[in-house]
Each structure stands twice: as C-alpha cells, then as structure tokens.
C-alpha cells in the first residue's frame, strides 16, 4: 500500500511517499516559501534529486506540484496519482477529541477546526492540506495523525494546571503535550531494545529546534514537558520553555508590550537565540563557545540543566528508569549535549560511556557503560513512518 505522508506548515510542506507494506521510502521532499515565491526539493535516492524554484502562491499549487513531481518528471516514481492508496496527514492539535489517529470525514474536520484557538499557527495549515487533497484526489482516503494523541493517557494530576477548575472544564485549559508521534515511535523502539519487558519505564528526550521530554510507563505517556502550547518545558531554539508567569506583566510594563508581542518574544526571540544573541542553531552556539564566547557557553549549560531537571523529575514520577532515549536533530547528533545531560547522574544508575557516545551513526544505538543500571539509547526518530503505519492500519481495516 502506497501512503503519501504530508506535513503542511504555514509556508512549508514536507512529504514522503512510503510503501507501508515494505516500509520503503519511495520519495521524499520539502516545499518551502509557499506564498512568498516557492522552492521544491525532491529526492528519490542519493543520485536522483530534483531542486527547483517555481511560484507557489498557495498550498494548492504546492500539493499539485508535489503530485506532478511524483507522477510526471524525470524523477517520477509512479505513473498516476491513482496509485496512491491513502494520505496520512500530520495534525498538530487533536485536543481531547482524539486519543488516536482517525480517518478524516466532515465531522473530524469540524473538530480540528474547533481546535484552531489552541494551535492557531498549525491547525489551519493542516486542515488546508487535508481539504486540498480531498479536492485533488476525491477517491483517496485521508487519515489524520495527531501530535497530541499519544499524551492523552496522562493522568489528571499530570495534565491539569493548578488554576480554578472551571477553566479546564469550560475553556479546555490543560497540558496537551506535543511531539507525540516521535515519543511513541522512540519509546516503542526502546521497548524492543529492552527485550520487550512487560513493564517499562522510559524517558524520551526529543531535542530539536523544538524540544520536549516525555515519561513513558508501560508504553504510555504519563507526563510531558510541553503544555497547552509547545512553549512550555525545555529551552528550545527560539522558545524560552518554562518561565515565571509574572514575567508577562513585568515585560508589559517595562517594554510597553502587549500580550501578542510577549508571546512572539517568548516563542521567536528567546531560547538559544535570545540567550546567545548568535543563533537558534545549536551548532553555531557550540562553535561560538569553543571560540570563547561566554554567553554561548552559558546557553549550552542552561539548556542541559533544564533537560537534566526534567529527566530527574520524570525518573521520580516513574519510580526509576530502564532507558533514557535521545532523539531528533540535537539528541541524535550532539554527543556534547548527551554527555552533559547524563554527567553526574551516576548516583541514579545513569552512566554514559564517553567513547560509545562519540560514535556517529544513523542506527539505533546503546551509549551507556556496561555497569549502568539504566540503558542510554540514541534512537533516530521517524514520525513519517508512524503516520504511514497508522494510515495503513486504518485504511486496511476499513
């Protein structure tokens, strides 16, 4: 079964065509700058790539171009769009409506629309992606896979904010958590590596531009660092993560900002970028720190301390940890961050092997010392694979 996996952002569109039966990735690509000008990067294999710039005023032209590239270009992989059996869409916010992936119908779209106030930047683009596919491929089923769904197993004591209860019941104010498909995939891989133990206690550190950490007990999310929105928790590329809410009125007065400006400041101007004044990209911060930049050095220590704080808190909630997993751009590639996070945690059975940690690989790997009570894994995430699998199961089951 061929599944087209789509991740529609506000001005971008990531796609993969996956053979869900063999698990092979047939083609992959990225469209950027939709509504500005338009760039498409398409890849079938290392030697079969296509890059071009073409005007894409809306997502419709972008999806049309993707379909044309798949079916009618020098790098075509199928003869007709009818060969695509189903489309799996990444949808950021599923609120409390969705605790698993679902086949899209009008009712589902209405619910995703209702959740726009909770994800104003993401859900509208996701809905657009679904509607355009319905228009261009009316016979092909669409499946929505939610970033929040995996965390719907969190118990109330871990998802409620300590505010008046009616704001949860009336306004849905609570922690939802994100990166669910990644936390699910990585924790499932870790369970396999642990030898499919009946009960398992796993902490997944998804460290990328956006970062979150998740406590997974027996395969289920019991707590996660992101909240009502993806701003809470770890320090990220441009997001502050946890901050005293008292900062908001303080900044309003000191810098004459309104609520929108403060959210923009905390989401886009803070984190690594704000701390270092250099970049939101960790590689640049590491280089600056090696060149003697003090702010860059403090930024690195600060992000690691925040991760460590959550890791230890989650070890407490879980009552121990069988495996700590690192994933996403930073988690998979930065031995420095992994080492700093694990350093000093020998007392709780987390002992990193510095040499194993330095080995670069695209495979799942173990980087703990043989004496370590807790396994430390690097597990490359694969959200597209989860979306393709869920889509396959739902459409096949139908």
Which residues have a catalytic role annotated?
147
**CB of residue 73 vs ligand ADP: minimum separation in angstroms?**
27
Q: Return the number of other C-beta atoms located less than 10 Å from residue 318's C-beta.
A: 18
**Residue 166 to residue 117: CA distance in whole angstroms:** 18
Indicate the residue whose CB is closest to ligand ADP.
329
Nearer to ligand ADP, 141 or 237 (CB): 237
Strands 201-207 and 323-327: parallel
Helix (H) or strand (E) holding 202: strand 201-207
H helices present in the chain, as ranges = 59-71, 106-114, 123-136, 156-159, 166-171, 180-193, 247-254, 259-268, 271-276, 282-290, 294-318, 328-333, 335-342, 354-358, 383-397
Binding site for ligand ADP (CB under 6 A): 208-210, 237, 281-283, 328-330, 333-334
Q: Which residues contact 300 (CB under 8 A, 6 or more apart)?
A: 282, 285, 286, 289, 336, 337, 340
**CB of residue 150 vs ligand ADP: minimum separation in angstroms?**
17
* DSSP annotation of 153: G
- Angstrom CA distances, 125 to 7, 94, 113, 116, 172, stand at 9, 14, 11, 10, 22
With 0-12 / 13-18 / 19 or more C-beta atoms within 10 angstroms meaning exposed / middle / buried, residue 394 is: buried
The answer to whether the beta carbons of residues 261 and 269 sit under 8 Å apart is: no
Nearer to ligand ADP, 132 or 214 (CB): 214
- At 151, list the tokens: 């965390």
Nearer to ligand ADP, 123 or 333 (CB): 333
Nearer to ligand ADP, 129 or 230 (CB): 230
Instruction: For residue 7, list its beta bridge partners.
Output: 14
- Angstrom CA distances, 196 to 189, 219, 325, 370, 375, stand at 9, 10, 16, 20, 14
**CB of residue 104 vs ligand ADP: minimum separation in angstroms?**
24
Q: Which residues contact 5 (CB under 8 A, 6 or more apart)?
A: 15, 16, 17, 18, 87, 88, 89, 90, 384, 387, 388, 391
The answer to whether the beta carbons of residues 66 and 59 sit under 8 Å apart is: no
**CB of residue 15 vs ligand ADP: minimum separation in angstroms?**
15
Compute CA 47 distance to the chain's CA centroid, rounded to the nearest angstrom.
Answer: 28
**CB of residue 51 vs ligand ADP: minimum separation in angstroms?**
19
**CB of residue 379 vs ligand ADP: minimum separation in angstroms?**
13
Instruction: For residue 39, list its beta bridge partners.
Output: 32, 53
**CB of residue 208 vs ligand ADP: minimum separation in angstroms?**
3
**CB of residue 40 vs ligand ADP: minimum separation in angstroms?**
19
CA-CA-CA-CA torsion for 257, 259, 263, 264, nearest 10 degrees? -50
């Amino acid at each position: 079964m061929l599944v087209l996996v789509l991740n529609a952002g506000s001005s971008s569109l990531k796609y993969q065509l996956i053979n869900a039966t063999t698990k092979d990735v047939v083609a992959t690509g990225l469209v950027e700058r939709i509504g500005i000008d338009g760039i498409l990067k398409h890849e079938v294999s290392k030697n079969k790539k296509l890059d071009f710039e073409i005007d894409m005023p809306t997502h419709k032209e972008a999806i049309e171009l993707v379909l044309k590239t798949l079916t009618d270009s020098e790098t075509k992989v199928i003869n007709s769009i009818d060969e695509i059996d189903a489309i799996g869409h990444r949808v950021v916010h599923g609120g409390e409506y969705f605790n698993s992936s679902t086949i899209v119908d009008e009712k589902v779209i209405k619910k995703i629309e209702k959740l726009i106030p909770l994800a104003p930047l993401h859900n509208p683009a996701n809905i657009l992606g679904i509607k355009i596919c319905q228009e261009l491929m009316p016979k092909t089923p669409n499946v929505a896979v939610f970033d929040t769904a995996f965390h719907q197993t969190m118990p109330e004591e871990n998802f409620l904010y300590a505010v008046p209860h009616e704001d949860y019941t009336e306004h849905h104010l609570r922690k939802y958590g994100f990166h669910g498909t990644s936390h699910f995939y990585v924790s499932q891989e870790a369970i396999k590596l642990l030898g499919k133990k009946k009960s398992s206690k796993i902490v997944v550190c998804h460290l990328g531009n956006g970062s979150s950490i998740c406590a997974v007990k027996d395969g289920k999310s019991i707590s996660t660092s992101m909240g009502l929105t993806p701003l809470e928790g770890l320090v990220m590329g441009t997001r502050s993560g946890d901050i005293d809410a008292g900062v908001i009125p303080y900044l309003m007065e000191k810098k004459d900002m309104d609520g929108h400006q403060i959210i923009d400041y905390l989401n886009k101007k803070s984190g690594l970028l704000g701390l270092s004044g250099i970049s939101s990209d960790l590689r640049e911060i590491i280089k600056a720190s090696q060149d003697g930049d003090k702010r860059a050095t403090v930024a690195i220590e600060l992000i690691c301390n925040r991760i460590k704080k959550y890791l230890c808190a989650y070890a407490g909630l879980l009552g121990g940890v069988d495996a700590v997993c690192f994933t996403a751009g930073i988690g998979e590639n930065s031995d420095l961050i992994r080492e700093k996070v694990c350093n000093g945690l020998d007392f709780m059975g987390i002992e990193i092997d510095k040499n194993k940690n330095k080995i670069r690989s695209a495979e799942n790997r173990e980087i703990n010392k043989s004496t370590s009570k807790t396994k430390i894994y690097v597990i490359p995430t694969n959200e597209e694979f989860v979306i393709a699998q869920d889509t396959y199961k739902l459409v096949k089951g139908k």
